[in-house]
Amino acid sequence: MPIPEDVTGDEIDKDVRQELQSLPKTLAEDVAKNLVMVARLIDEDPEGAYGYSRVALRLASRVAAVREAAGFAAYANQKYSEALGEFRAARRMTGTVELWPVMADCERGLGRPEKALDMAGAPEVHKLDKAGQVEMRLVAAGARRDMGQLDAAIVTLQSPELASNSVQPWTARLRYAYADALLAAGRESEAREWFAKAVEADRDGSTDASDRLAELDGVEFVDALDESDAAEEGDNAAGQVDRSDDEVRVEKTHEDAEAVEDVEGKDVEDKD
Protein backbone atom coordinates (compact mmCIF):
# COMPACT_ATOMS: atom_id res chain seq x y z
CA MET A 1 0.00 0.00 0.00
CA PRO A 2 1.26 3.53 -0.78
CA ILE A 3 2.93 5.52 1.98
CA PRO A 4 2.59 9.34 1.88
CA GLU A 5 5.86 11.22 1.44
CA ASP A 6 5.47 13.03 4.77
CA VAL A 7 5.59 9.72 6.68
CA THR A 8 9.16 8.89 7.71
CA GLY A 9 8.61 6.23 10.36
CA ASP A 10 10.28 8.38 13.00
CA GLU A 11 6.83 9.32 14.30
CA ILE A 12 6.41 6.03 16.18
CA ASP A 13 6.85 5.68 19.93
CA LYS A 14 10.40 5.19 21.12
CA ASP A 15 9.52 1.85 22.74
CA VAL A 16 8.20 0.57 19.42
CA ARG A 17 11.26 1.88 17.64
CA GLN A 18 13.40 -0.07 20.09
CA GLU A 19 11.45 -3.25 19.33
CA LEU A 20 12.07 -2.76 15.63
CA GLN A 21 15.82 -2.62 16.15
CA SER A 22 15.83 -6.41 15.99
CA LEU A 23 15.01 -6.09 12.26
CA PRO A 24 17.31 -5.12 9.38
CA LYS A 25 17.41 -1.33 9.02
CA THR A 26 15.47 -1.06 5.75
CA LEU A 27 12.84 -3.54 6.92
CA ALA A 28 12.48 -1.72 10.24
CA GLU A 29 11.85 1.53 8.39
CA ASP A 30 9.17 -0.04 6.21
CA VAL A 31 7.42 -1.58 9.20
CA ALA A 32 7.60 1.70 11.11
CA LYS A 33 5.97 3.61 8.25
CA ASN A 34 3.12 1.11 8.08
CA LEU A 35 2.60 1.35 11.83
CA VAL A 36 2.45 5.13 11.54
CA MET A 37 -0.27 4.78 8.92
CA VAL A 38 -2.23 2.43 11.19
CA ALA A 39 -2.15 5.00 13.99
CA ARG A 40 -3.02 7.83 11.61
CA LEU A 41 -6.05 6.15 10.04
CA ILE A 42 -7.52 3.93 12.74
CA ASP A 43 -10.14 6.44 13.90
CA GLU A 44 -11.23 7.99 10.61
CA ASP A 45 -10.51 5.16 8.17
CA PRO A 46 -10.47 1.81 10.02
CA GLU A 47 -10.43 -0.21 6.80
CA GLY A 48 -7.37 1.66 5.57
CA ALA A 49 -5.66 1.18 8.92
CA TYR A 50 -6.43 -2.53 8.74
CA GLY A 51 -4.79 -2.76 5.32
CA TYR A 52 -1.57 -1.17 6.56
CA SER A 53 -1.59 -3.40 9.64
CA ARG A 54 -1.70 -6.48 7.42
CA VAL A 55 1.35 -5.23 5.52
CA ALA A 56 3.24 -4.66 8.77
CA LEU A 57 2.17 -8.09 10.00
CA ARG A 58 3.43 -9.72 6.83
CA LEU A 59 6.79 -7.97 7.23
CA ALA A 60 7.34 -8.51 10.96
CA SER A 61 4.91 -10.91 12.62
CA ARG A 62 7.34 -11.69 15.43
CA VAL A 63 7.36 -8.12 16.75
CA ALA A 64 4.91 -7.60 19.63
CA ALA A 65 4.12 -3.99 18.67
CA VAL A 66 3.13 -5.18 15.20
CA ARG A 67 0.82 -7.86 16.59
CA GLU A 68 -0.73 -5.30 18.93
CA ALA A 69 -1.29 -2.78 16.12
CA ALA A 70 -2.84 -5.50 13.98
CA GLY A 71 -5.10 -6.39 16.89
CA PHE A 72 -6.37 -2.83 17.32
CA ALA A 73 -6.90 -2.45 13.57
CA ALA A 74 -8.96 -5.64 13.49
CA TYR A 75 -10.83 -4.52 16.62
CA ALA A 76 -11.69 -1.19 14.98
CA ASN A 77 -13.22 -3.16 12.09
CA GLN A 78 -15.20 -5.41 14.45
CA LYS A 79 -13.11 -8.44 13.50
CA TYR A 80 -13.16 -9.57 17.11
CA SER A 81 -11.90 -13.12 16.66
CA GLU A 82 -8.91 -11.93 14.67
CA ALA A 83 -8.25 -9.09 17.11
CA LEU A 84 -8.34 -11.45 20.08
CA GLY A 85 -5.82 -13.73 18.43
CA GLU A 86 -3.43 -10.83 17.78
CA PHE A 87 -3.80 -9.50 21.32
CA ARG A 88 -3.10 -12.93 22.78
CA ALA A 89 0.02 -13.23 20.63
CA ALA A 90 1.24 -9.81 21.74
CA ARG A 91 0.62 -10.70 25.36
CA ARG A 92 2.58 -13.93 25.05
CA MET A 93 5.50 -11.99 23.61
CA THR A 94 5.53 -9.25 26.24
CA GLY A 95 4.10 -10.96 29.32
CA THR A 96 2.18 -7.79 30.22
CA VAL A 97 -1.51 -7.46 31.10
CA GLU A 98 -2.19 -4.09 29.47
CA LEU A 99 -4.36 -5.66 26.78
CA TRP A 100 -6.55 -7.57 29.24
CA PRO A 101 -9.55 -5.16 29.09
CA VAL A 102 -9.67 -5.00 25.29
CA MET A 103 -9.29 -8.78 25.12
CA ALA A 104 -12.32 -9.05 27.40
CA ASP A 105 -14.23 -6.64 25.18
CA CYS A 106 -13.43 -8.87 22.21
CA GLU A 107 -15.17 -11.68 24.10
CA ARG A 108 -18.20 -9.40 24.34
CA GLY A 109 -17.99 -8.73 20.62
CA LEU A 110 -17.99 -12.47 20.00
CA GLY A 111 -21.21 -12.82 22.01
CA ARG A 112 -19.54 -14.24 25.12
CA PRO A 113 -20.30 -11.71 27.91
CA GLU A 114 -19.92 -14.41 30.56
CA LYS A 115 -16.31 -14.90 29.48
CA ALA A 116 -15.73 -11.15 29.71
CA LEU A 117 -17.07 -11.18 33.28
CA ASP A 118 -14.77 -14.06 34.17
CA MET A 119 -11.85 -12.01 32.90
CA ALA A 120 -13.05 -9.02 34.94
CA GLY A 121 -12.66 -11.11 38.07
CA ALA A 122 -9.29 -12.61 37.16
CA PRO A 123 -6.05 -11.87 39.07
CA GLU A 124 -4.68 -10.05 36.03
CA VAL A 125 -7.00 -7.12 36.75
CA HIS A 126 -5.11 -6.30 39.95
CA LYS A 127 -1.94 -5.85 37.89
CA LEU A 128 -3.53 -3.17 35.71
CA ASP A 129 -2.85 0.51 36.30
CA LYS A 130 -5.73 2.81 37.25
CA ALA A 131 -6.69 3.52 33.62
CA GLY A 132 -6.73 -0.20 32.87
CA GLN A 133 -8.88 -0.97 35.89
CA VAL A 134 -11.41 1.68 34.88
CA GLU A 135 -11.45 0.25 31.35
CA MET A 136 -12.05 -3.20 32.79
CA ARG A 137 -14.95 -1.84 34.83
CA LEU A 138 -16.49 -0.37 31.67
CA VAL A 139 -16.17 -3.70 29.88
CA ALA A 140 -17.71 -5.57 32.81
CA ALA A 141 -20.65 -3.16 32.94
CA GLY A 142 -21.13 -3.61 29.20
CA ALA A 143 -21.16 -7.37 29.68
CA ARG A 144 -23.83 -7.03 32.35
CA ARG A 145 -25.95 -5.00 29.96
CA ASP A 146 -25.42 -7.60 27.24
CA MET A 147 -26.96 -10.10 29.63
CA GLY A 148 -29.90 -7.80 30.43
CA GLN A 149 -28.66 -7.09 33.96
CA LEU A 150 -29.15 -3.30 33.98
CA ASP A 151 -29.10 -2.84 37.75
CA ALA A 152 -25.92 -4.88 38.02
CA ALA A 153 -24.33 -2.76 35.29
CA ILE A 154 -25.15 0.40 37.25
CA VAL A 155 -23.64 -1.03 40.43
CA THR A 156 -20.54 -2.16 38.54
CA LEU A 157 -19.86 1.43 37.43
CA GLN A 158 -20.28 2.89 40.90
CA SER A 159 -16.73 3.41 42.09
CA PRO A 160 -14.38 5.96 43.68
CA GLU A 161 -13.32 6.99 40.18
CA LEU A 162 -16.94 7.80 39.30
CA ALA A 163 -17.49 9.79 42.49
CA SER A 164 -14.23 11.73 42.21
CA ASN A 165 -14.40 15.40 41.25
CA SER A 166 -11.00 15.29 39.57
CA VAL A 167 -10.99 14.91 35.80
CA GLN A 168 -8.86 12.11 34.38
CA PRO A 169 -8.58 10.81 30.80
CA TRP A 170 -11.22 8.19 31.55
CA THR A 171 -13.65 10.39 33.52
CA ALA A 172 -15.90 11.45 30.64
CA ARG A 173 -16.33 7.90 29.34
CA LEU A 174 -17.02 6.53 32.82
CA ARG A 175 -19.66 9.16 33.56
CA TYR A 176 -21.17 8.69 30.11
CA ALA A 177 -21.45 4.91 30.57
CA TYR A 178 -23.07 5.43 33.97
CA ALA A 179 -25.58 7.94 32.55
CA ASP A 180 -26.40 5.63 29.66
CA ALA A 181 -26.98 2.70 32.01
CA LEU A 182 -29.26 4.84 34.20
CA LEU A 183 -31.26 5.90 31.16
CA ALA A 184 -31.60 2.30 29.99
CA ALA A 185 -32.97 1.46 33.43
CA GLY A 186 -35.59 4.23 33.15
CA ARG A 187 -33.93 6.58 35.66
CA GLU A 188 -34.09 9.61 33.39
CA SER A 189 -33.53 12.43 35.89
CA GLU A 190 -30.39 10.76 37.25
CA ALA A 191 -29.23 10.04 33.71
CA ARG A 192 -29.57 13.70 32.81
CA GLU A 193 -27.45 14.69 35.81
CA TRP A 194 -24.65 12.32 34.81
CA PHE A 195 -24.75 13.23 31.14
CA ALA A 196 -24.24 16.84 32.29
CA LYS A 197 -21.28 15.73 34.40
CA ALA A 198 -19.88 13.84 31.43
CA VAL A 199 -20.10 17.01 29.34
CA GLU A 200 -18.10 18.88 31.98
CA ALA A 201 -15.32 16.29 31.82
CA ASP A 202 -15.37 15.74 28.04
CA ARG A 203 -12.77 18.31 27.06
CA ASP A 204 -11.81 16.70 23.77
CA GLY A 205 -15.28 15.67 22.59
CA SER A 206 -14.64 11.94 22.92
CA THR A 207 -18.33 11.26 23.63
CA ASP A 208 -21.65 12.59 22.35
CA ALA A 209 -22.74 13.46 25.89
CA SER A 210 -23.78 16.99 24.89
CA ASP A 211 -26.10 15.62 22.21
CA ARG A 212 -27.61 13.10 24.60
CA LEU A 213 -28.16 15.84 27.17
CA ALA A 214 -29.82 18.09 24.61
CA GLU A 215 -32.04 15.20 23.53
CA LEU A 216 -33.22 14.69 27.10
CA ASP A 217 -33.92 18.42 27.36
CA GLY A 218 -36.01 18.30 24.18
CA VAL A 219 -33.65 20.47 22.17
CA GLU A 220 -33.79 19.92 18.41
CA PHE A 221 -30.86 20.86 16.19
CA VAL A 222 -31.44 22.15 12.66
CA ASP A 223 -28.77 21.37 10.13
CA ALA A 224 -27.24 24.60 8.80
CA LEU A 225 -27.04 23.02 5.35
CA ASP A 226 -30.74 22.30 5.44
CA GLU A 227 -31.42 25.94 6.29
CA SER A 228 -29.25 27.08 3.39
CA ASP A 229 -31.04 24.71 1.02
CA ALA A 230 -34.40 25.99 2.21
CA ALA A 231 -33.32 29.60 1.73
CA GLU A 232 -32.05 28.82 -1.75
CA GLU A 233 -35.30 27.11 -2.64
CA GLY A 234 -37.17 30.17 -1.35
CA ASP A 235 -35.06 32.46 -3.51
CA ASN A 236 -35.63 30.26 -6.54
CA ALA A 237 -39.36 30.25 -5.93
CA ALA A 238 -39.41 34.05 -5.60
CA GLY A 239 -37.42 34.31 -8.81
CA GLN A 240 -39.89 32.07 -10.56
CA VAL A 241 -42.76 34.26 -9.37
CA ASP A 242 -41.02 37.39 -10.64
CA ARG A 243 -40.34 35.79 -13.99
CA SER A 244 -43.95 34.68 -14.22
CA ASP A 245 -45.13 38.24 -13.55
CA ASP A 246 -42.81 39.52 -16.26
CA GLU A 247 -44.15 36.98 -18.69
CA VAL A 248 -47.71 37.98 -17.87
CA ARG A 249 -46.86 41.63 -18.48
CA VAL A 250 -45.20 40.80 -21.81
CA GLU A 251 -48.15 38.71 -22.91
CA LYS A 252 -50.52 41.50 -21.89
CA THR A 253 -48.50 44.01 -23.92
CA HIS A 254 -48.67 41.73 -26.97
CA GLU A 255 -52.42 41.34 -26.58
CA ASP A 256 -52.89 45.12 -26.36
CA ALA A 257 -50.77 45.65 -29.45
CA GLU A 258 -52.76 43.09 -31.41
CA ALA A 259 -55.98 44.75 -30.31
CA VAL A 260 -54.76 48.14 -31.52
CA GLU A 261 -53.76 46.63 -34.87
CA ASP A 262 -57.21 45.07 -35.25
CA VAL A 263 -58.93 48.40 -34.54
CA GLU A 264 -56.70 50.29 -36.97
CA GLY A 265 -57.26 47.66 -39.65
CA LYS A 266 -61.01 47.89 -39.20
CA ASP A 267 -60.94 51.69 -39.48
CA VAL A 268 -59.10 51.42 -42.77
CA GLU A 269 -61.69 48.99 -44.13
CA ASP A 270 -64.57 51.28 -43.08
CA LYS A 271 -62.97 54.20 -44.87
CA ASP A 272 -62.60 52.14 -47.99
Of 61, 62, 64, 83, the residue nearest 72 (C-alpha):
83
Task: From first to last of the 272 residues of the chain, give the pLDDT tens digit.
Answer: 899 989 998 888 899 999 999 999 999 999 999 999 999 999 999 999 999 999 999 999 999 999 999 999 999 999 999 999 999 999 999 999 999 999 999 999 999 999 999 999 999 999 999 999 999 999 999 999 999 999 999 999 999 999 999 999 999 999 999 999 999 999 999 999 999 999 999 988 889 999 999 998 887 656 555 555 555 555 555 444 444 444 444 444 445 445 444 444 444 444 44
Q: Are 133 and 168 in contact (CB under 8 A)?
A: no
Q: Which long-range contacts (CB under 8 A, 24 or more apart) does 123-127 make?
A: 124/97, 124/100, 125/100, 127/97
What is the model's pLDDT at position 228? 56
